[in-house]
Amino acid sequence: MALREIRIVGDPVLRTPCDPITTIDDRVRSLVEDLLETVDMDGRAGLAANQIGVGLRAFSWNIDDEIGYVLNPVIVEVSEDEYQDGDEGCLSVPGLWYPTHRAWYARVVGTDLDGREVVVEGTELMARCLQHEVDHLDGMLYLDRLERSVRKKAMRAIREQL
């Protein structure tokens, strides 16, 4: 296991959709160990594989003292009539938090390392995490979901950090 370096906005791996995991092998097992170890720090709610430079569909989470992972996650349900608009941040966009519109509830289906179906669901922070991490795997950052004026402000702040 290894604590992996987080890729920062501007790295092309963050904008590239991740490939499905087709075979569970030692490489995938090692990826999951690294995802779990790297997300297991204060202030980290979720971590997608491409955030550590691996273009495979997997992410880990660390919400309410529960740490877990899912392979090949797909969002299968979000609340249609309940939303949340709280500030959202990202390890790949360090130090910046912006109001991001997300569904209040989300459910993801994927698999575990044994190929068994995994269902992960939740409200509020967990729902935000599930949506955020699946976005990463699709090559999106939360910045893409910001209102135009807020996104403009965020992009200016990112340029100032570089």
Q: Is residue 95 packed enough to be buried (19+ CB in 10 Å), middle (13-18) or exposed (0-12)?
A: exposed
Say if residue 136 carries a ligand binding annotation: yes
Say if residue 132 carries a ligand binding annotation: yes
State the catalytic residue, choosing from 88, 133, 147, 160. 133
Say if residue 101 carries a ligand binding annotation: no
Sign for the CA dihedral angle at 116, 122, 126, 127 comes to positive
Asked if residues 111 and 117 have their Cβ atoms less than 8 Å apart, the reply is yes
Active site residue 133: yes
Cα 63 to Cα 103: distance, rounded to the nearest angstrom: 17
- What is the radius of gyration, based on Cα positions, of the chain? 15
Residues that are catalytic: 133
Residue ranges of the annotated binding site for Fe cation are: 90, 132, 136
